[in-house]
Amino acid sequence: MRKSSSNSPGGSLKKAERFSSSGFILAAIGSSVGLGNMWKFPYITGEHGGAAFFLLFIVCLIAVGLPVLLAEMTIGRGGRGNAATSLFNLTGNKYWKWFGALSVLTAFLIMSYYAVVAGWTFQYTLDSLTGGLSHKGMDYEAHFNDFAGGLMPIFWQAAVMLISGYVVARGISGGIEKFNKILIPGFLIILLILMVRSLTLPGASAGVEFFLKPDFAKLDSESVLVALGHAFFSLSLGMGCMLTYGSYVKKEQSLGKATIAIGIGDLGYAFIAGLIIFPTVFSYGLQPDKGVGLAFMALPAAFSQMPFGAFFGGLFFILLAIAALTSAVSILEVPVAFAMTQWKWSRRKAAAIVASVCFVLGIPAALSVTGSLSGFLIFGKTVFDWFDFSTAYLLMPIGGLVVTLFTGYAWKRAGEEAGLTGFWYKAWMVTLRYVAPLLILVVLLYSLFVKPV
């Protein structure tokens, strides 16, 4: 375990936990690559017309996502604190602490529904491997609805909380870093096996074409908002997650290079996920616009017809489970780091309490997908949808806005900490001062007033 001493002002980490350089990159990629890449990205791409949407997503990721990512990590390393204390440490202005409170709330809400979907992947892994998903004439939609409406998702959600709580309790280098160092390379191997399998299926080219041959007529103004929102979600931005990870980065590490590595990692995994999912779906004559059910309804149907489908299906859901777990750990770390400095809790106590609270909050989310609470609507949305909507379209944009404004206007020495000078510094500042806040504001106003629910 490598440790260096802390020289930061008040409210910072007691024992100065640190990532190794490669450990940080892997952990950050682990955070960004998640259900967002493997489950959400394919279905929103499917719903918004394929390749043109993918291009738009790339533009949003590079033009807005990466500058904000760099800003978050820079604030974390410069301030050496959690989502609340870092901003305070850098300016001495106590009002910035509200950002921390907001981040903690966002983290609880995201974790509560994220763990539900992560839990589904556990059940689907087991079912695939034991042949439970390959009965002849099986109705995959009904199967999913039955399963998601029962009590098993709550059991699996508890398992997700236990695993991620345990990893977070073990600390940065001994827990989070180690976990990602094992899982992320394993992840890449499984991903490549599945990519080769799907690209060699008969009729795979129709799927590749859908994913990579753009038809711009399919885009509308809403696609831009969805793409931008997803760029944020996919890079784990807008809730102090990358800020918190950034606070454990060594001074010598280049944050600019880390930003590029994480960007390539996130985009690369989304790209390969698309190359797995669309060829498979098209090859078996299924539709790519199945929405939330794409991974859990259309894909099992495809795997069931494939030779050795139980094996490939099992691999696919293991992949999803790994992606989800390495992200869940990073979400959990935000309130844990907060509780450790704010209330001086030990890491283990903080991890246990935060994971338990998220578990309880997640129960109504789990029951509201197709279960007993699915008819309980608040302004037309289920509890599960509210968790998703309120975080992705309201709280995360607000969090992103705080980060851009803080780095662009309030903190004068961000360029120094980020290691940017000349053209890159200017481009970064123009993005943080004008481009990013404007775009984020549009997303926020749109979701508040144009299409509130």
What residues line the site for ligand TRP (CB under 6 A)?
A: 31-32, 34-37, 110, 233-234, 236, 239, 241, 327, 330-331
CB 168 within 8 A of CB 329: yes
Helix (H, G, I), strand (E, B) or coil at 17: strand
- Smallest gap from residue 57 Cβ to ligand TRP (A): 12
- Smallest gap from residue 145 Cβ to ligand TRP (A): 23
Q: Which of 418, 394, 364, 307 is nearest to 74 (CA)?
A: 418
- Smallest gap from residue 263 Cβ to ligand TRP (A): 13
Query: Which amino acid, 163?
Result: I
Residue 116 or 133: the one with the smaller Cβ distance to ligand TRP is 116
Residue 90 or 396: the one with the smaller Cβ distance to ligand TRP is 396
Residue 301 or 323: the one with the smaller Cβ distance to ligand TRP is 323
Residue 232 or 428: the one with the smaller Cβ distance to ligand TRP is 232
- Smallest gap from residue 184 Cβ to ligand TRP (A): 13
Residue 76 or 149: the one with the smaller Cβ distance to ligand TRP is 76
- Contacts for 176-179 with beta carbons within 8 Å, 24 or more apart? 176/27, 176/329, 176/330, 176/333, 177/19, 177/20, 177/23, 177/24, 177/26, 177/27, 179/30, 179/325, 179/326, 179/329
135-166 per-residue burial string, b: 16 or more CB within 10 A, e: under 16:
eeeeebeebbbebbbbebbbebbbebbebbbb
Helix (H, G, I), strand (E, B) or coil at 3: strand
Q: Which of 100, 164, 153, 85 is nearest to 331 (CA)?
A: 164
Token pair for 233 = 């979600």
Q: Which of 106, 274, 293, 288 is nearest to 198 (CA)?
A: 274
Residue 34 or 274: the one with the smaller Cβ distance to ligand TRP is 34
- Smallest gap from residue 411 Cβ to ligand TRP (A): 21
Query: Which amino acid, 223?
Result: S
- Smallest gap from residue 114 Cβ to ligand TRP (A): 7
- Smallest gap from residue 270 Cβ to ligand TRP (A): 9
Residue 330 or 447: the one with the smaller Cβ distance to ligand TRP is 330
Q: Which of 324, 356, 369, 327 is nearest to 153 (CA)?
A: 369
